[in-house]
Structure 1
Amino acid sequence: MPVASVDKIEAVGRVLNDRRRPLKERFRALFTLRNIGGPVAIHCIQQCFSDPSALLKHELAYCLGQMQDTKAIPVLKRILSDKNQEPMVRHEAGEALGAIASPDVKEILEEYADDPLTEVAETCQLALGRLKWLAESAQLEQVSENPYACVDPAPPSQEIDVTVLKQMLQNESLNLFDRYRAMFSLRNLNTPESIQALCEGLKTGSALFRHEVAFVLGQLQQETSIPHLQSSLEDQSENEMVRHECAEALGAIGSQTCFDILRNYLEDDKQVVKESCEIALDMCEYENSPEFQYADALLKV
């Protein structure tokens, strides 16, 4: 993306922070800001954390982590520490701090690694695992390249045998960081067998673990995962963080079947699921359109 003027960036920021705008427009503005990067974009994003939408705030934190700019650390620390924020928002702030991986985030991650909320505690434990891996092992290991241009919460495992990786993925006595490593290795293999192993992972482990499996299946965009994602989305007893991620994964796949499933949940009792389906349907429309890019807010301000 070409460098944008400060005025243009601030105009996109106003779209993001305008609660009168449709949520799908605000999401596109957010991802535009993520792609631009820099202090003005970060300022625009951090202004939005007072929004009532947990889904939007979760995505704000995600984008700040993906930008890997240390200027975002103060606001992410504040959100992680704020017990009034929704668990999924605090979780994403912790994961974002792990993505930035600056040494000065270690102390706060250690502080919340025993948080009463499992999603928050596990996220901080994973982030600490990533910091340790980067410091001790990253230069020593040969791992597969990430084909998705994103910062993962754990590196892929060096193991490439799908049977072994599936056992690691489903082994709930194994360290969560190692299970995540198996997950990303299965994603990078991207074979029918590895995708099936991931689909089975939607029914095991903690809510945090299951939500990451759904996210990975969305990255893969394989139609064979649709019935599994649909099953978890339809399960009213499933954690809303998992259901939300299943909805967005269906949006990323973008088939007519996904359209039909998502429309059924536009009035879901859970606000975060309802909003996720709204965003996912916009993603479906994008996947089936001639549009050049999803993050297109610069073209519209």
Structure 2
Amino acid sequence: MMENINTQEILTIGNVLIDTTRPMKERFRALFTLRNLGGETAIQCISKCFNDESVLLKHELAYCLGQMQDKNAIPVLRSVLEDKQQDPIVRHEAGEALGAIGDPDLRELLERYKDDSAIEVAETCQIALERLNWVANDGVTEKLSKSPYSSIDPAPPSSTNDIKLLKDTLMDESKPLYDRYRAMFSLRNMATTESINALGEGFKATSALFRHEVAFVFGQMQDVRSVPFLKMALEDTKEHEMVRHEAAEALGSIATDECIEVLKRYLQDPRPVVRESCEVALDMSEYENSPEFQYANTLLAVKAQG
């Protein structure tokens, strides 16, 4: 929890998040500010927003709650996963968030949805269960490649750094998705031209969930060598919207002129998740190209008003 923050300031940031009249980019900044602040009040503010119309925003709410790794978020994430009225993109992220929190008591819930009729949800719960097993078996003490990112990943990196083996595992559709995810995170941590090209091949996988994770990983890496792969994913209007949205956000974090140009082209995309992602991604590009210290800066705005 950051110092010198009172409950009222957190609630004020929460009010920015739930205000549907504000641009999506402002609401995103408020959400990530709440994630960074942490604590029960921040979780309550985030939880209030799951009845919003924006699938993209609700997906990011679930993501942030998982990254906070606070068990206070379990009840709302459970209810989102169980709610068949929620878009599969949102339910999948709730399942992934529960896996990130890593509470062994969640096993029964995740088991119930590992064969869900929505394939994205089923695959996510299968991976989350494997992560619970890994945590329970002291996998955290395994000697694995160090992630340069502060994210809680759906799977740990693989125990090998043999790039041919990793690439073969990544693309082997007969292997469990969890093992392929492990290969993916190892390739991410390597960050070489060879590993980036191997990850780019991941867009040929049959699982949309898998392809979306490749795009997410590229967004973390912020490496211009991944731009051709991301552009191809966003420009493919037949591609699953969860993949295109993640590709858009990744391009926003890389923020070259080429990335900005392609994002502007899809600001009017017929799919709300894609066009909102492009709007948020352009705001991220603006931040990446500015002297601003912090993207999640709603707290500064609140203090300035106070």
TM-score (structure 1 length as normaliser): 0.98
Displacement of 1:208: 0.1
Displacement of 1:199: 1.0
Q: Over the residues paired in the alignment, what is the CA RMSD in angstroms? A: 0.9
Matched residues in 2 for 1:58 and 1:27: separation? 11
1:190-269 map, 5 Å: 190-269=191-270
1:294 alignment counterpart: 295
1:110 alignment counterpart: 111
1:27 alignment counterpart: 28
Q: Residue 239 of structure 2 aligns to a residue in which SS?
A: coil
2:39 alignment counterpart: 38
Equivalent position amino acid for 2:29 in 1: R
Structure 1 segments unaligned to the other structure (5+ residues):
none
- The 1:3–1:155 alpha-carbon spacing in structure 2 relative to 1, beyond 3 Å, is farther
2:78 alignment counterpart: 77
2:124 alignment counterpart: 123
1:147 alignment counterpart: 148
Matched residues in 2 for 1:202 and 1:211: separation? 8
1:14 alignment counterpart: 15
CA contact (8 A) 2:10 2:34 kept: yes
1:159 alignment counterpart: 160
Displacement of 1:2: 3.3
Equivalent position amino acid for 1:256 in 2: D
Displacement of 1:137: 4.6
2:279 alignment counterpart: 278
Q: Residue 14 of structure 1 aligns to a residue in which SS?
A: helix
Runs of 4+ in 1 over 2 A off after TM superposition: none
Structure 2 segments unaligned to the other structure (5+ residues):
none
Matched residues in 2 for 1:203 and 1:281: separation? 27
CA contact (8 A) 1:3 1:36 kept: no
1:180-195 map, 5 Å: 180-195=181-196
Q: Which moved more, 1:154-163 or 1:132-141?
A: 132-141
Deviations 1:18-52 (A, max 9, x none): 00111100000000000000000000000000100
Matched residues in 2 for 1:75 and 1:29: separation? 19
Q: Residue 226 of structure 1 aligns to a residue in which SS?
A: helix
- Identical-residue share of aligned pairs (%): 62
CA contact (8 A) 1:53 1:272 kept: yes
Displacement of 1:270: 0.5
Displacement of 1:140: 5.3
Q: Residue 156 of structure 2 aligns to a residue in which SS?
A: coil
- The 1:163–1:296 alpha-carbon spacing in structure 2 relative to 1, beyond 3 Å, is same
- The 1:57–1:139 alpha-carbon spacing in structure 2 relative to 1, beyond 3 Å, is closer
Number of matched pairs:
301
Q: Residue 245 of structure 1 aligns to a residue in which SS?
A: helix
Q: Residue 160 of structure 2 aligns to a residue in which SS?
A: coil
